[in-house]
C-alpha cells in the first residue's frame, strides 16, 4: 500500500501591520516579500470609494494596474480584496481603511512600506 502524506500547511497569520510593525495605510506603496492577499475595508458611512493597485514599481497607484474597486452610493462600507505576487508592490487609495495582509506561505514576512 502506498502511504498518503498530509498536504503541506500553507498560509500565514493575517496582519494589519507592515514590516516595521506600523498599521498599513491608504496611499502608501507596500512591497510584497511573499505572495499573499490584501483585504481592506472602510468604516466610513458616506458615499466613498476604495481602489486597489498592483505594479512592479514603487508607485502602484500611479503606474500600476487597478485590480479592485468598490464604491458605495449611500451609507455603506466599501471592501476590496486582491492577490499580490511575490516581489510586486500594492497600494490602496480612497477612504481611510483597515488593511490586512495574509501571506500564502507560513512565516511569510509582512509587506515593506515604501512611503
Provide the pLDDT for residue 78: 87
Q: Which residue has the cell 512611503?
A: 115
pLDDT at 63 exceeding the cut of 70: yes
- CA–CA dist 12, 10 (Å, integer): 7
pLDDT band at 31 (very low <50, low <70, confident <90, very high): very high
| CB-CB contact of 27 with 55 (8 Å) | no
Q: What is the pLDDT of residue 77?
A: 81
pLDDT in tens, 33-50: 999 999 999 877 676 889
Amino acid at each position: 500500500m502506498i502511504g498518503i502524506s498530509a498536504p503541506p500547511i500553507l498560509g500565514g497569520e493575517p496582519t494589519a501591520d507592515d514590516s516595521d510593525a506600523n498599521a498599513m495605510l491608504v496611499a502608501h506603496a507596500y512591497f510584497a516579500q511573499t505572495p499573499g492577499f490584501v483585504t481592506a475595508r472602510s468604516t466610513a458611512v458616506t458615499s466613498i470609494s476604495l481602489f486597489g493597485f498592483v505594479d512592479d514599481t514603487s508607485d502602484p497607484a500611479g503606474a500600476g494596474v487597478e485590480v479592485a474597486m468598490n464604491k458605495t452610493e449611500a451609507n455603506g462600507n466599501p471592501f476590496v480584496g486582491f492577490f499580490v505576487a511575490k516581489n510586486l508592490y500594492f497600494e490602496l487609495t480612497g477612504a481611510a481603511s483597515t488593511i490586512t495582509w495574509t501571506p500564502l506561505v507560513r512565516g511569510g514576512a509582512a509587506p515593506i512600506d515604501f512611503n
